[in-house]
Chain A
């Protein structure tokens, strides 16, 4: 049994909509698609998908050069999201030094763009003489967690789970376990990624990237839709501040929701292809961890990226476990697939739904694929009093993750 209840007392977001939770939620609720065509991708031989969700230009100079010099884009996104989450959480700076606050921030990989620039220069004359001392700090896998900890002077736990698109869910799960077990009071958790064509190219090679909407980017991706044609890769960062209920009460912090269950299971049946039974097993495990029955769940925020096989497998699993009455939607139709950030950005969106008592529909879901008809899809904004949310995040490599969130009884939303 966990020692502590774990609540969410802060949120921070950098998304293809811009910097901040407010613009993220406003855009999601207004049904805005964040995908654009990138002309430079048309110049890449062999690539057929030219669409992506890119974070608009943001002012990184608010981050002191001493810390910014070791940051690639993904760490800049993480630093800005951390600033927002810690500010919203009203975390006094002295707490950074106590060891009672830690970070768990994951990314798919270190900065590919930085690596590309390095190797482009390196191969020109096989020389390291122009290599800056700050290069490695941008390409190491724990770059975001390290840079955020350095910037704020955080002395508690530091961990950087890397499980591609399930990185944020794993980071939140690790933070949840750490706080629930009493190891630490607060954990700043989530995922961050910066776009590189290699992401899109990887899905494209497997015929799993969206290629038919290059001239109509707002029409893709199309989770669960009969004309869906694959993933659209995006970038961003979502961070949530997890805290023991006791600590949150002592600090008189606003509480936005509660994390009550987590599971992350390996699916060894395939390193690339999803499996409905493995997804169901993961969701069941998370519910068991939460002590929650499927009947109690009010809304399922699906991973659903808009791939043919992935959406069918997830629908099949959800239908088998929950039946066809629970509302299901995916936020990928709005955001695209923000990779390592997707789990946390979509949880922030889900908490927004909990707060507003409205379920955001799956964007671009015009005609439901008959193969995805085992669940009740949300196609327009629905009013709903949501108590329990199940959130799925899956990743290449045979990784399935599920989190269970609960509305906090006396939650206040005084900050917004």
Chain B
């Protein structure tokens, strides 16, 4: 799975779960201000990502510092590469 495929999976999963217009899913989009998500959405977003990529991230400190969609992309890409490097 390359980085573009990871981004595509993330955007598709979040668009479906959170009913977001794909056109709004730019890397610089702020989760709170631009996509108008809140704390409940973030909890469910983590569950969706865990299911999409079959990993556990809920307890990871870095999740709490995510602010933009691009932050999510980069976090998941790093996590995937880390897991693949360890496998």
The segment from B5-13, B23-31, B44-52, B76-84 that touches chain A is B44-52
Q: Tell yes or no: B40 within 8 A of A by CB.
A: yes
Stretch at the interface among A127-135, A219-227, A253-261: A127-135
Q: Number of B interface residues at 8 Å Cβ cutoff, please give it.
A: 12
- Which residues of chain A come closer than 8 Å to B19, judged between CB atoms? 65
Are A134 and B50 closer than 8 Å at their CB atoms? no
User: Taking the nearest CB of chain B, how far is it from the CB of A64, in angstroms?
Assistant: 9
Q: Which residues of B contact A131 (CB under 8 A)?
A: 47
0/1 interface trace, chain B 33-63, chain A, CB 8 Å (1 if under): 0001010100110010011000010100000
Chain B nearest Cβ from A329, distance in angstroms: 44
- Nearest-CB distance from A62 to chain B (Å)? 13
Is the beta-carbon distance between A132 and B18 smaller than 8 angstroms?
no
Partner of B44 from the list A66, A129, A132 (CB cut-off 8 Å) is: A132
Identify which of residues 48-100 in chain A touch chain B, using a CB-to-CB cut-off of 8 Å. 65-66, 69-70
**How large, as a class, is the contact surface on chain A?**
10 to 19
Q: In the complex, are the beta carbons of A133 and B51 less than 8 A apart?
A: no
Flag if A133 contacts B40 (CB, 8 Å).
yes
Contacts of A70 in B (CB 8 A): 40
Whole-angstrom distance between the Cβ of B37 and the nearest chain A Cβ: 9
Query: A129 to B56, alpha carbons, bound, how many Å?
Result: 9
Q: Is the CB of B18 within 8 A of A134?
A: no
B22 to chain A, nearest CB (A): 15
**B-side binding surface: helix, strand, loop or mixed?**
helix
CA distance A91 to B35 in the complex (A): 30
- A70 and B18 CA atoms in complex are apart in Å by 13
With most chain B CB atoms within 10 A of its CB, the pick from A130, A133, A134 is A133
**Inside 8 A of A132's CB, which chain B residues have their CB?**
43-44, 47
A131→B50 CA distance, assembly (Å): 12
- Chain A residues with CB under 8 Å of B18's CB are 65
Cα-based distance from A70 to B39 in the complex (angstroms): 13
Given A65-B18, A65-B19, residue A134 in contact with residue B51 (CB < 8 A): no
Per-position binary interface string of chain A over residues 118-149, scored 1 when its CB falls under 8 Å from any chain B CB and 0 otherwise: 00000000000111111000000000000000
A155 → chain B closest CB, angstroms = 20
Query: When A65-B18, A65-B19 are in contact, do A129 and B40 touch as well, CB less than 8 Å?
Result: no
Q: Are A133 and B50 in contact (CB under 8 A)?
A: no
Give Cα A132 to B51, complex, Å: 12
Q: Are A130 and B47 in contact (CB under 8 A)?
A: yes
In the assembled complex, the Cα of A130 lies from the Cα of B56 at a distance in Å of 11
CA distance A51 to B42 in the complex (A): 41
Least CB distance, A386 to chain B, in whole angstroms:
46
Complex: chain B residue closest to A137, CB-CB: B40
Question: When the two chains form their complex, are residues B43 and A129 in contact, meaning their CB atoms are under 8 A apart?
Answer: no
The smallest beta-carbon distance between B4 and chain A, in angstroms, is 27
Point out the residues of chain A lying under 8 angstroms from B51, CB to CB: 130
Bound: A129/B18 CA distance, A:
18
A134 touches B47 (CB 8 A): no
Q: Bound state CA distance, A70 and B41, in angstroms? A: 11
Q: Tell me how far the C-beta of B54 lies from the nearest C-beta in chain A, rounded to whole angstroms.
A: 12
Interface residues of B (CB under 8 A from A): 18-19, 36, 38, 40, 43-44, 47, 50-51, 56, 58
5 shortest A-B CB distances, which residue pairs?
A133-B43, A133-B40, A65-B19, A132-B44, A133-B44
Seed contacts A65-B19, A66-B36, A130-B47; 16 additional CB < 8 Å A-B pairs: A65-B18, A66-B38, A69-B40, A70-B40, A129-B50, A129-B56, A129-B58, A130-B51, A131-B47, A132-B43, A132-B47, A133-B40, A133-B43, A133-B44, A134-B40, A134-B44
